[in-house]
Structure 1
Amino acid sequence: MTDDDYEDIADLQAETVGLLTHHVYAPLQGDQYVRGVMPAPDQAPAVRVVLGAQNATAPGHLTVYEVPLHDGEDLRTPDDIVALLRGATTHTPLTRPAEAAPAVMGMHLVQLDPTQVNEAPFTTDDWTSTLLRTLTRPVAEGSPSRLRGFLFRDAGLLRLYLDSDDIPGVIGAEVKPGGALTALLAVLPPMLEEEWRALPDVDDPHCRYVIDLTDW
């Protein structure tokens, strides 16, 4: 994979995060809400979407769907990814997995085969959401860091996955939503490179390390 190919993958992962954040509060399909979006490990051309009940954080109650981003020689769009996820969850019962089932970070892992999934149609609400998101949240030029993913954690924590032109790879940042958000956003980019802040013994294959910003 060339640097340009990887940057295209990274851009698509970031766009997918922007689309799926809406479904943290509105169900993606049935009673399933988005509980996380993560870049696949090892620069793989895929995105991992975590689904579960509203407000669920316990790994045993969450399912990770890994969706390949390539469609032949082309890349899927974020809307394609939503269509695949809806198709998969419509026809696949979401139950707690057996112990032998594939897992990541304690969550059941499903690697989607798009050829075996009937994509759900794009709805009027989807079009409306896309239009409003484009009008109200344009992509900022020259931003010092970029959100590549997120995951709801126990105890009210949120893990952010970010990258920056100044740091190789994806860095995790553990934060506690609320409080002085403006201050957190101001210090976040430079703190990403402060590896000495990394939490010890973190088992997360989706980033190089995780820094602790919960008390900031």
Structure 2
Amino acid sequence: MSGSYGETVEHQAYITRFLLEYTAVPLVGGSFLRGVLPTRDAVRIVTGADDAVTPSSLVAYEIPLVDDEDEPVTAPVVLGWTRTLTAVGPAYPHASVMGMTLVRVDTSMVEPAPPTRTDRVLRVLRTLAWPFTETPPSPPLCGFLLTEQDSMRLYIAVGEADGPVAVDVRLTGALTALLAALPALVHEKERWKPTDGADPHCVRAIDLTIW
């Protein structure tokens, strides 16, 4: 992956990794993380109830990857903004994407919520259990969306595709084998299918739900 696209993928993958625990830990109240969608120069943080998968029950907050001073935003700040926005709710005009409410966030108008005790606990545990390495996972996971109770869509950056490839997987069955094979499977171009504009967050899609 070249230049600015490679930097964008790296940033999206970093935010995705940081936020993963909030699929199980509430962001605020009864709202959980239901997805991180990669899009040009931004991430769309999808929130909803802990079992929400229908688009009408989800809200996506589009947060730029850089701040007002053109500096990269950090994952803890993205988390803080998301908490503030989720607590208030989308109270101003919005668009939609994939059937979800879409709120394009002006971060200069939002004060990030401070870290919680759980955030600090997770920071300690991440540091000890997942120490930083100079070699990030390859290919990078730059987003995901929980699509049904037993399935999810993974957004994986594949250099040959010049954009994310959406990979649909089931959460049951031969999951260990699938995860081991996934890095190779996403490079098999014969599996790639056009998205027909149904999902603007990817350039190709692969269905591995029956793999």
Structures share fold, TM-score greater than 0.5 = yes
1:108 to 83, 101, 104: 101
Where does residue 26 of structure 1 map in the other structure?
25
RMSD value, Cα: 2.4
- 1:82 paired residue among 79, 86, 89: 79
User: Residues 88, 213 of structure 1: CA spacing in aligned structure 2 closer, same or farther, 3 A cutoff?
Assistant: same
Q: Does the 8 Å CA contact 1:195/1:211 hold for their aligned counterparts?
A: no
Match of 1:180 in 2: 174
Amino acid paired to 1:76: V
In the alignment, is the contact (CA less than 8 A) between 2:161 and 2:204 conserved in 1? no
The alignment's TM-score, normalised by the length of structure 2, stands at 0.88
Q: TM-score, normalised by structure 1?
A: 0.86
Contact 1:144 1:165 in 2 (8 A): no
Answer yes or no: is 1:92 the counterpart of 2:85: no
Question: After TM superposition, where is structure 1 displaced by more than 3 Å over at least 4 residues in a row?
Answer: 3-6, 164-167, 198-202
What's 1:8 paired with? 7
**Cα deviation digits, residues 127-184 of structure 1 (max 9, x gap):** 2212212322245626431111110113521100011455532111000012222211
Alignment of structure 1 residues 23-172 onto 2, 5 Å: 23-40=22-39, 44-71=40-67, 72-92=69-89, 101-138=94-131, 141=135, 143-154=137-148, 156-165=150-159, 167-172=161-166
Structure 1 unmatched ranges of 5 or more: none
Moved more, 54-63 or 119-128: 119-128
Question: Unaligned 5+ residue runs, structure 2?
Answer: none
Q: Shift of the alpha carbon at 1:11?
A: 1.5
**Is the CA contact (8 Å cut-off) linking 2:161 and 2:203 kept in structure 1?**
no
